[in-house]
Amino acid sequence: MIYLLIDNSNTRTKFRLADREKLLEWQGWLPTHEISLEAVKNLTRNLTFDAVLLCSVVPEKAAILRECFSTQQPFHQVNCYSKMPLSIDYPLPKQIGADRLANAVGVVKHYPVPAVVIDFGTAVTFDVISAEPAYCGGVIAPGLGAMNDYLHRKTALLPLVELAEPAQAIGKSTHEAMLAGAVYGYRGLVKEILVKLLEEIGSPTTIIATGGDAALIAAGVVGIDHVDPSLTLEGLRALAMENL
């Protein structure tokens, strides 16, 4: 069985082939704002797969992706009713983003629990998985890229900076000052949220980071145990195996 996994997030939509053993070599992506029937068909035209699993946080684009694939082969869109290897301890499960569920499944399949997974995307999400295991909830904050872009768009003179490790905290230029504020400030946000979460969990907890800025921010945050760029896709692969 070959699966086409689709991770339809706010900024990028990632496509990956997988089987029951592993993620396969082929992968592709499209800017989410460019998702259309034609663009998706062009990207996947030469692929062979048996079933499609969609994880989406963009309803308008999810509708296009369903139109592309749901009538041609077995198809499943991740939601709180999907079969998964954990329960949901959350009063309004329909409000949980499908990407957050995928991350939780990836954690349960590959890491000890209890755990916290931090996903550095357009938003940064912190999700708590208990020892049961169960999805328990978490925190949502603005993503690092979104904060950087906001400063650029809402001011007359501040540039859009390419995120990287600052040379020092005392910036000697506008660019250096913004870089220090972004990276050191964001690490402070992450550290404080983790302190509060770990106080409430109250037991040894595995902390996993994933997403585009994970490696940069985790490099300066003591206590993050793993940086796993494939966590969401591994969660989707596990969900495909249970639901298709």
Active site members? 99
Could you tell me how far CA 241 lies from the centroid of its own chain?
20
Q: How far apart are CA 16 and CA 230, in angstroms?
A: 11
Phi and psi (nearest 5°) for 104? -60, -40
**What is the DSSP code (8-state) at residue 121?**
S
Calculated CA dihedral for residues 77, 101, 12, 208, nearest 10 degrees = -150
- For the residues of 193-220, what is the DSSP string, one character each? HHHHHHHHH-S--EEEEEETTHHHHHTT
Q: What residue has token string 């591994």?
A: 234
Residues 141 and 126: their CA atoms lie apart, in Å, by 9
Regarding beta strands 206-211 and 226-227, do their DSSP bridges make them parallel or antiparallel, or are they unpaired? parallel
d(CA 29, CA 120): 18
User: Hey, which residues does 18 pair with through a beta bridge?
Assistant: 3, 23
Between the alpha carbon of residue 15 and those of residues 25, 133, 240, the distances in Å are 11, 28, 14
